[in-house]
Amino acid sequence: MSRLHLHLLSDSTGETLEMVAKAALAQFEDTDVIRHFWPMVRSRQHLDRIMTDIAANPGLVLFTLVNSETRTRLEEHCRALGLPSVPALDAVTDALEDVLGQEAKGKPGRQHLMDDAYFERVEAIQFTIAHDDGVAWEDWEEADIVLAGVSRSSKTPTSIYLANRGYKVANIPIVVESPPPTELFGLRRPLIVGLTTAPERLIQVRRNRLLSLNQAPETAYVDIEKVNREVQFARRMFADNGWPVIDVTRRSIEETAAAVINLLNERHAAGEPAPGANPL
């Protein structure tokens, strides 16, 4: 197995750089990657301190630095050490400059400005946390999205991911013995989406959850017949109400969220009002 020291330098939070690196690394197997993460690099002194660690752990350097002096100094250091350095966003920025006919602003962290969109995202996150797992159903009409599904069908993590994209999300567990409040079936503004999964996969997830809580892994919660009834009950409810359904069995949280957003876009294209969202 090959080993790689990967140095990620950013003059902002480094979130974008981490996502780029993660997406690229997913294409490679049998590689031991040691990440060195350096956010908020905005001074020559800070960069010089970082170079000591880079010299001690030579590898690939990826960076998003908009200050020309800082990035030039980084590139000079890397050349002196014989290390490759890659500006992760330059190609995209250059293409946008050509197409838009204007120069990039060159200001660190512009995507994290505390503008109206930022505060709307904060509000969406607060709403979503306050309306997790069926709580505060009286306010569901204010939501952009309502996710419904049996326990451990990824409702909460998907809700939080969507909230970070600016959507107000509520989620409700579908339980055979405890039907949801009747208000769920009369909602008009939110897009209601059913999340379903294969019973076998659901049992595996639930069993792992029980083990993580140091609880007995063999209970009715993971009984195959009971789980099958739960999943069938939820699917019947989704079908009876005409709610779109997403099978999350082999989907990541990001993929599930993208599918939900596509459903919102289709709803908007069909002429229905689309809830506001502010992508990161």
User: Any binding-site annotation on 152?
Assistant: yes
User: Any binding-site annotation on 43?
Assistant: no
Q: How high is the pLDDT of residue 115?
A: 56
Q: How high is the pLDDT of residue 280?
A: 40
Q: How high is the pLDDT of residue 27?
A: 87
CATH number for the segment(s) 2-111? 3.40.50.10700
Going from N- to C-terminal start, the domains of the chain cover: 2-111, 116-269
Sheet of strand 191-196, all strands in order from the earlier edge strand to the far edge: 169-173, 145-149, 191-196, 245-247
User: Any binding-site annotation on 16?
Assistant: no
Q: Are 85 and 64 in contact (CB under 8 A)?
A: no
3 state SS for 143-186: CCEEEEECCCCCHHHHHHHHHHCCCCEEEEECECCECCCHHHHH
User: Any binding-site annotation on 176?
Assistant: no
User: Any binding-site annotation on 260?
Assistant: no
CATH class of the structural domain 116-269: alpha beta
User: Any binding-site annotation on 150?
Assistant: yes
User: Any binding-site annotation on 252?
Assistant: no
* Category of 109 on φ-ψ map: left (φ > 0), alpha (ψ -120 to 50) or beta: left
d(C-alpha 239, C-alpha 196), whole Å = 12
Mean pLDDT by 10 residues, the chain (280 residues): 89 85 87 90 90 94 90 93 90 80 63 62 92 95 97 95 93 94 95 97 92 83 94 97 96 93 87 52
pTM, rounded to two decimals: 0.65
Q: Are 238 and 185 in contact (CB under 8 A)?
A: no
User: Any binding-site annotation on 151?
Assistant: yes
Q: How high is the pLDDT of residue 72?
A: 92
Residues 6+ apart with CB under 8 A from 242: none
> Within 13 A of 129's CA, how many CA atoms are on the CB side?
7
Q: How high is the pLDDT of residue 108?
A: 53
Same CATH fold assignment for domains 2-111 and 116-269: yes
